[in-house]
Amino acid sequence: MLELRALAIRVTMRQVVADEVDLYAAYEDLVLCLDMDIEAPPFKIWEPLEAMPLQELIEHIERQVELIIASFCAVLETAKLGLINAAEHGEVGPDMNALDMKSMFETGALGECLASSSH
């Protein structure tokens, strides 16, 4: 889950940082600024968020990160359902590198729709 969280932080920080910087490092810098009571991070914050107090900004980022992780997990679970469905129907070949995960997601989503409409 650590790598998923790091990816979610990077995705969120794209909406926060106005400079070209390492996005995960920028998040760590924000937390460090808060911990050390430094008011301004070493990079530019996107204008709509720049007036936000640092504590509030970090809380905003954390909320967004949690939402993104939930979305990632939902997508992965849906792709897993598609993979299971494809395996049950003999549609998965021996080369897992050739697997089309977008197709597995779409198959899983279709299966979820059909299952929920039959309840």
Q: Domains of the chain (ranges plus CATH)?
A: 2-117 (1.10.10)
Burial class (CB in 10 A: 0-12, 13-18, 19+), 49: middle
> pTM value?
0.80
Contact yes or no for 57/30 (Cβ under 8 A): yes
pLDDT band at residue 88 using 50, 70 and 90 as cut-offs: confident
Is a pLDDT exceeding 80 seen at residue 119?
Answer: no
pLDDT reported for residue 31: 96
Contact yes or no for 36/54 (Cβ under 8 A): no
Average pLDDT, integer, range 63-67: 97
Percentage of the chain with pLDDT > 90?
Answer: 60
Is 35 or 94 the better-scoring residue by pLDDT? 35
pLDDT band at residue 115 using 50, 70 and 90 as cut-offs: low
Average pLDDT, integer, range 12-31: 96
- 90 φψ region: left (φ > 0), alpha (ψ -120 to 50), beta (else): left
Residue 45, φ and ψ in degrees, nearest 5: -90, 140
Average pLDDT, integer, range 32-53: 92
Residue 44: CB atoms within 10 A of its CB come to 12
